[in-house]
Structure 1
Amino acid sequence: MKSVSAAGKGGALPAVSRDRIEQHLKFLEGVRHPVAAPAALQRACTYLEDTLRALGYAVDLHGFADGGEHYHNVVATRLGTRRPEKRVLVLAHFDTVAGSPGADDNASGVALLLELATIFKEWRPELTLQFVGVNLEENPGLEESGAGLRGSSALAALAAAQGWEIEAVVVLESVAFAGTSVPQGAPAGVPLQVPPHGDFLAVIGNEVSQGLVTRFALAVESFQIALPVVPLVVPGNGELLPDTRRSDHAPFWDAGYPAIMLTDTTNFRNPHYHHPSDTVDTLNLSFALRVCQATAAFLLGLTGWEGEAPR
């Protein structure tokens, strides 16, 4: 099985497996939608639950209602050894729009979430670490009930109601379409010079999350990961740049929690976005692997650990 590790000023990262990432992608590829493909959506939910349980995590199904039906987020927890009341959440949504197999959006994020859970399965973090598969992120068609970000909105509401002490939410949102020859666009009003080619990872936070954006970029530099990073901190909760609110971090911003979105920028780069052509064979797995390494480096610095670092 192919695996790649990285080392830097922070020590050695655990090895990340390209093969495991690809296996997750191939299993998940296919329409996963509450109306168009409910059985496949449930299959993805069960896959997350079973995989995380097999890795030794405590797994809970967080239920919520939508449109008269009941759905679940999958929450895997490793309690912190020193400050268990403090939490770091890693999120990725596992549903798709009705007409797309959703390899990049967002099987890629789920595959990286599962790979991170795998490489850290023996880790004893000082802070509580939770890996969360989020349901019903996508905005429905006009004929459907409800709105987008339903699973993450329900989870953020639970966190606020129970007084969770969240140090960071890291959202993996479409993280595997990239290349030096890929034309890159940008939404109007972005207050920075966006590179012309889509070979970078965008790290997007709001004002409350500015420190997380900075720490992510520093982690990439410290571990000498060959991943161009474009950081963006938006005013308020991104109201002036609605495109920066189009994933599961937004409900946590609105609840006052620090959260960042890691993304390949989806439709501003990927011509297959929300189309039937969003398939595994269009993805750049080497790029996805580096995003996984970068996220692992960030989590190591953010949550700390007791004893030896994971390898």
Structure 2
Amino acid sequence: MNRPPEAAGKGRALPAVSRDRIERHLKYLEGVRHPVAAPAALERACSYIGDTLRALGYAVDLHGFADGGREYHNVVATRLGTRLPDKRVLVLAHFDTVAGSPGADDNASGVALLLELATLFSQWRPEKTLQFVGVNLEENSEEGPSGTGLRGSRALAGFAALQGWEMEGVLVLESVAFAGGSVRQGAPPGLPLQVPDTGDFLAVIANQLSQGLAMRFALAVESFDIPLPVVPLVVPGNGELIPDTRRSDHAPFWDAGYPAIMLTDTTNFRNPHYHQRSDTFDTLNLGFAVRVCEATAGFLLGLVCGEAEAPR
């Protein structure tokens, strides 16, 4: 059938995703990364993300924010657009964990894919500005002043609004490596659609403002013939009626009026290791993570590159 050019990537070949690089990032990051239980490991993860992105040629800045009387940082890597530099596309993944979990799926998997995508796009010239962001303090924390989580992304969304950033889309990678044909799938109460019983799909969570991004992602998967089941979910408003759809770094961008989608394996609705000491590398499905990375790369090609596709 005829497909929209943006879905098909205008005839481009999909960049080759490296399973080995994803595995190396995951193994380096695995371990408790928490502001109280493991602050040194949290800082090492921050440094690792920044160093990796700098080595790829990105301009890297640390976006600081205060929490509980201390300063923390988001890592923001930027490749300016060649034709439309004022229009931005952000790819986010949080790098902290809860106090008792090594966080392989939640969320070393998201960070590993973010770094692999940054590697792929270091060889492309985007028409729009592309930013890869490692986000700090996403997890809920009893030690924090509010205990609500999402502190790094809330600070970044507020900064973006104050600066008047023109956002074409925000893509959040949240736990993207637990899946399989024998995995049982659950769903939050009040969900307005029937989800499959088997946890072998990627969920794409959008609000009404972001519905177009979710549909473009699904079209990219189809157009590049990626064997990845995708279940889009568009929630009314900013997800207030289904709080489980707001449990990651896309929510502050929804609240600030920016289009944003979350890619997720649905965490505790399929993964028995969620926020447990057993959330380790050996529980993950790297083949699934690679397919998610391929799908995300195809989606980003259509969103940021336009006709400016020649490698650097």
TM-score normalised by L of structure 1: 0.96
Q: How does 1:1-311 map to 2 (within 5 A)?
A: 10-141=11-142, 143-146=143-146, 147-310=148-311
CA contact (8 A) 1:9 1:223 kept: no
Q: 1:48 to 1:238 in 2, by over 3 A?
A: same
Measured in 2, the distance between the counterparts of 1:296 and 1:10 equals: 14
Residue 161 of structure 1 aligns with an amino acid whose one-letter code is L
Residue 150 of structure 1 aligns with an amino acid whose one-letter code is R
- How far residue 122 of structure 1 moved from its aligned partner, in angstroms, is 1.8
Residue 90 of structure 1 aligns with an amino acid whose one-letter code is V
Give the root-mean-square deviation of aligned CA atoms. Answer: 1.3
Measured in 2, the distance between the counterparts of 1:42 and 1:215 equals: 35
- How far residue 9 of structure 1 moved from its aligned partner, in angstroms, is 7.1
- How far residue 131 of structure 1 moved from its aligned partner, in angstroms, is 0.1
Measured in 1, the distance between the counterparts of 2:281 and 2:238 equals: 33
Measured in 1, the distance between the counterparts of 2:301 and 2:9 equals: 13
Residue 31 of structure 1 aligns with an amino acid whose one-letter code is V
What secondary structure, in the 3-state scheme, does the structure 2 residue paired with 1:203 have?
A: strand
What secondary structure, in the 3-state scheme, does the structure 2 residue paired with 1:287 have?
A: helix
Residue 66 of structure 2 aligns with an amino acid whose one-letter code is A
Measured in 1, the distance between the counterparts of 2:309 and 2:70 equals: 45
Q: 1:151 to 1:99 in 2, by over 3 A?
A: same
Size of the aligned set, in residue pairs, is 304
Q: Which runs of 5+ in 2 are unaligned?
A: 1-7
Residue 145 of structure 1 aligns with an amino acid whose one-letter code is P
Identity percentage of aligned residues: 83
Q: 1:206 to 1:310 in 2, by over 3 A?
A: farther
Q: Deviations over 1:249-296 (max 9, x none)?
A: 000000000000000000000000000000000000000000000000
TM-score normalised by L of structure 2: 0.95
Measured in 2, the distance between the counterparts of 1:10 and 1:153 equals: 37
What secondary structure, in the 3-state scheme, does the structure 1 residue paired with 2:42 have?
A: helix
Measured in 2, the distance between the counterparts of 1:277 and 1:222 equals: 36
Measured in 1, the distance between the counterparts of 2:81 and 2:11 equals: 20
What secondary structure, in the 3-state scheme, does the structure 2 residue paired with 1:128 have?
A: strand
- How far residue 193 of structure 1 moved from its aligned partner, in angstroms, is 1.1
Q: 1:309 to 1:13 in 2, by over 3 A?
A: farther
Q: 1:250 to 1:303 in 2, by over 3 A?
A: same
Q: Which runs of 5+ in 1 are unaligned?
A: 1-6
What secondary structure, in the 3-state scheme, does the structure 1 residue paired with 2:198 have?
A: coil
What secondary structure, in the 3-state scheme, does the structure 2 residue paired with 1:124 have?
A: coil
Measured in 1, the distance between the counterparts of 2:256 and 2:93 equals: 18
Measured in 1, the distance between the counterparts of 2:272 and 2:165 equals: 39
Measured in 2, the distance between the counterparts of 1:310 and 1:233 equals: 35
Q: Deviations over 1:223-270 (max 9, x none)?
A: 000000000000000000000000000000000000000000000000
List structure 1 runs of 4+ shifted beyond 4 angstroms. none
What secondary structure, in the 3-state scheme, does the structure 1 residue paired with 2:85 have?
A: strand
Q: Deviations over 1:114-145 (max 9, x none)?
A: 0000011121100000000000000002x443
Measured in 2, the distance between the counterparts of 1:125 and 1:308 equals: 7
Residue number in structure 2 paired with 1:3: none
Measured in 1, the distance between the counterparts of 2:108 and 2:138 equals: 13
CA contact (8 A) 1:13 1:310 kept: no
